[in-house]
Every structure is written in structure tokens, then in C-alpha cells.
Amino acid sequence: MSEPAAPPYPVTDRVREALAVSLRGCDELLPQAEWVAKLARAEATGQPLRIKLGLDPTAPDLHIGHTVVLNKMRQLQDLGHTVIFLIGDFTSMIGDPSGRNATRPPLTREQIETNAQTYYKQASLVLDPEKTEIRYNSEWSDPLGARGMIQLAARYTVARMLERDDFTKRYKAGTPISVHELLYPLMQGYDSVALKSDLELGGTDQKFNLLVGRTLQQEYGQEPQCILTMPLLEGLDGVEKMSKSKGNTVAITEPANTMFAKLLSISDTMMWRYFELLSFRSMAEIGRLRQEVAGGRNPKDAKVLLAKEITARFHDAAAADAAEADFQRRAAGGVPDDIESVSLTGAPMAVGALLKQAGLVPSTSEAMRMIEQGGVRIDGVMISDKTLKIEAGTFVLQVGKRKFARVQLGPQAR
């Protein structure tokens, strides 16, 4: 295989730094050589690149899992490039079939307008609103009309569309695929044509749609965009992707104390993934912190730094300091000196089973009830996720105001 042609502009240290920023935490950057060439051209000519992120307003609130791609946008924005926050008010009426095994019900215009009102306000907690171009894809999609839609559909084949994994599975299984679902990737791809984007971001589940954008730009005589996919962040349980339906989210509108406490509840292992995908600290700084923890520093110290950084981003530094002080007050003042110690095995263990085995509740159903009421804490952190699995370690369990146990939880016996 021949080597790719060298970019027409020099690859300077600043270009290499920009590439490193682009690659941090990403799943794929395709094609990387083309992105380097675009970065080199932007550096040499002073013309910023156009970087696009589209979100359909399918729900009124964002959680920190949504901010993984927003963080990447902000990092590229800080390099001087133009970021376009695209609200998919037109595509929301189709319904994105990505990752679905059944047809997604389209949203009504009223639902879309209600949700869109809060989207950009919340996204602006991450992006610099002064340097963000906000667009709605109804601007160019509505004027297409029936004739334009037919002309657009003629530029892509059914065979290519059925290469998409979720369509293939549904087709083979005999599960219905509505014709309007085939239009979704086309309309998302047409957004890239309308915006003349150089780079489009999305989650790993959006790869097919992003590649359609490249194809359509070529069909319309444009330089094709590069694509950058970001991983889907696991929720507080450390297993399932962050989702409101899973009850494992941290909403970016959570009160500061709740946000801080939830972030302290993640496992010591998952903490480093959150650092990489959510923190604005440099990878070198995160690496040093990781070495310190490996060398004996309490991992809770690092987790506090992470929780304060994220809480300050969505509130402010004073609120983050107050949340930390509140947590320390609860942790220090509420634990008696003579609590019972319990040794258990079976990590990772469901929180309900853990409470029962530690003798703090008579049944897992009672454990679920206490969690719902906000009466369960681990090392002073209130637990709200009934599906949470607790990793191995030593910690203090609390149920209500008076029941405590110091638990040493080991891995599953073999």
C-alpha cells in the first residue's frame, strides 16, 4: 500500500499539538491523514476549520455523558476553530434509528421546540457561547421540498444504506424498517453539505451517519469532512452507558451537592475514564496523578479533584468548595467510632445485596426502599442508583441515621 501524499502545508509543532488534542479520548479519527492536512492548512493560512456537532432535542435535559463530545468541541474551539452547534429540529421529526431494534417514534413539533429551548443554554456551560455558531437544520431541510428530497435520495443507494449494522440486523430478523428511517442518515449527511463542515463529531453509534456526510459532500463537489467519534460514557454503575432510563446519570442541572456526591460514588477504576473524557486537565497532569495513586496516595483525593472540577464547571468554584465542605461535614460528623466491621466477598456486588449481607437491612426490597428515600450512604456519599455495583475495597455503609457497618469487600471467590 502506498504512503498517503504529504500535506501541502508544513506539519508544525502546533499542528501536532492540535492532533494530540483531537485524539485525546476519541474512539476513531477518520481519515487521520486528511485531518492533519486540514490542520496544517488552517495553521498556514489562518483560516479556522468548521467543526460540526448535531444533537436532536429528544429530551429536555443533558447529562454529563452528553458533554463528552461537547468537551471535545470546546477543546477544538480553544484552538481557534469555528464550532457549529446544530440543533436537529428537522431530523428529530424523523427519529434517529441508530442503535435501535425498532422504529423510533418521531417527536412532535411542540416537543422539539420545548426541548430545544434548554439545549443550547445547557451546552453553553461547556462551549464558549461568544465563539459558537448555533444553527437549526430546518433552515435548509424545510426548503428542500419533495423535489429536493428525491434528488438527494438519488445520490445514495439502498445497498449502501443496508450496510448499516442496525438496519442489517432488523432486515435479517424481519423487523420492520420504515422508509422514513432511511431518510435520517441522508438528512444528517446533507447537514454537512449545507454547513460545509471540515470535521463532524458524534458518539460511536453515529459513525455510519457521519460517513454518509463525507459521501454526500463529495457528491456535491465539496472537500469531504473528517469524522471523529467519541466513546459513550458509562454511568455511575460503571457498566451501562449513561442514560436516564438506567438511573445512572449525573444531570448537568443537578444541585452542586448532589453532583459532587454522585461523582464521588464512582469506582476508583472508572474515575480515570471520567478524568480522560470529562476533565480539562492535561493528560500529563492526569498521568502524574495516576502515578501518585499507584504509589500510595488515597484515590479519594483524586476523585475529589475530579468532582470539584466538574461541579465548578456547571455551577462555580464557590459552589464546588461548598459541596466538598458539606460532604466532609457529613462524612466526619456522622460515623460513630465503635461500628461493626464486616468482611464480605463477591465484588462487584449489587448495592442492595451488599446492604443485606452487611446486616443493615432485612431484605433487598427494603434496601431499594431506603435508596429511594435517600437513606443510604457509602463513605458519606448518598446513593441514588439502585442498580449500582460496588467494587472491592473498604468503606463505611450507612442506612438511615443510626445503622453503620465498616465493610471490607473482596473479589468473587474462585
Q: What is the CATH number of the domain that holds 407?
A: 3.10.290.10
* Dist CA 290 CA 287 (whole Å): 5
Average pLDDT over residues 237-260: 85
Using alpha carbons, list the distances in angstroms from residue 20 to 14, 30, 204.
Answer: 10, 14, 19
Give the pLDDT band of residue 101 (cuts 50, 70, 90). very low
Residues composing the chain: 414
- pLDDT of 6 over the 60 cut: no
Per-residue model confidence (pLDDT) at position 413: 61
Give a yes or no: residue 159 inside a domain: yes
Residue % of the chain over a pLDDT of 70: 92
Whether residue 347 is found in the same domain as residue 213 = no
Tell me which of 64-68, 69-73, 103-107, 384-388 is least confident. Answer: 103-107
Are 225 and 340 part of one and the same domain?
no
Residue 1, pLDDT score = 44
Same domain, 203 and 341: no
Question: What confidence score (pLDDT) does residue 414 get?
Answer: 55
By C-alpha distance, which of 373, 367, 414, 372 is closest to 390? Answer: 367
Q: Is residue 267 part of a domain?
A: no
| Residue-level pLDDT at 24 | 94
Query: What pLDDT does 333 receive?
Result: 57
Amino acid 98: pLDDT: 55
Higher pLDDT, 405 or 3: 405
| Contact criterion met (CB below 8 Å) for 202 and 142 | no
For the stretch 344-366, pLDDT in tens is 888 888 889 989 998 888 888 88
In a domain, 149, yes or no: yes
Q: Which residue has the higher pLDDT, 332 or 203?
A: 203
How confident is the model over 207-226, as a mean pLDDT?
Answer: 95
What is the three-state SS of the chain?
CCCCCCCCCCCCHHHHHHHHHHHCCCCEEECHHHHHHHHHHHHHHCCCCEEEEEECCCCCCCECCCHHHHHHHHHHHHCCCEEEEEECCCHHHCCCCCCCCCCCCCCCHHHHHHHHHHHHHHHCCCCCHHHEEEEECHHHHHHHHHHHHHHHHCCCCHHHHCCCHHHHHHHHHCCCCCHHHHHHHHHHHHHHHHHCCCEEEEEHHHHHHHHHHHHHHHHCCCCCCEEEEECCCECCCCCCECCHHHCCCCECCCCHHHHHHHHHCCCHHHHHHHHHHHCCCCHHHHHHHHHHHHCCCCHHHHHHHHHHHHHHHHCCHHHHHHHHHHHHHHHHHCCCCCCCEEEEEEECEEHHHHHHHCCCCCCHHHHHHHHHCCCEEECCEECCCCCCEECCEEEEEEECCCEEEEEEEEECCC
pLDDT of residue 104: 53
Determine if residue 42 is left, alpha or beta; phi over 0 gives left, psi from -120 to 50 gives alpha, anything else beta: alpha
Counted domains in the chain: 2
Are 72 and 194 within one domain?
yes
Q: Domain end: 230, 260, 287, which one?
A: 230
For the stretch 34-92, pLDDT in tens is 999 999 999 999 999 999 999 887 766 788 998 999 999 999 999 999 999 999 888 88
151-165, 210-224, 234-248, 400-414: range with lowest mean pLDDT: 400-414
Cell of 293: 495513586
Burial class of residue 39 (count of CB atoms within 10 Å of its CB; 0-12, 13-18, 19+): buried
Do residues 214 and 343 share a domain? no
Asked if residue 152 and residue 20 are part of one domain, the reply reads yes
Average pLDDT, the chain: 87
What CATH number corresponds to the domain at position 187?
Answer: 3.40.50.620
Measured on CA atoms in the order 104, 184, 62, 100, is the torsion positive or negative? positive
Domain boundary, last residue among 189, 205, 230: 230
Regarding whether 219 and 360 lie in a shared domain, the answer is: no
Residues 79, 22: contact at Cβ < 8 Å?
A: no
Domain boundary (230, 255, 285) is at 230
Residue 126 predicted with pLDDT over 70: yes
**What confidence category does residue 5 fall into, taking pLDDT thresholds of 50, 70 and 90?**
low
Residues 221 and 349 grouped into a single domain: no
- Least confidently predicted of 235-239, 269-273, 388-392, 408-412: 408-412
- Please check whether residue 119 is in contact with residue 133, taking contact to mean a CB–CB distance below 8 angstroms: no
> What per-residue confidence (pLDDT) applies to 60?
67
How many beta carbons lie within 10 A of that of residue 328, not counting itself? 12
| Within a domain: 209 | yes
CA-closest candidate to residue 15, choices 40, 34, 45? 40
Structural domain for 203, as ranges: 13-230
Query: If you search the block for the grid coordinates 502506498, which residue do you land on?
Result: 2
- pLDDT tens-digit profile of 145-154? 999 999 998 9
Using a pLDDT cut of 90, give the percent of the chain over it.
47
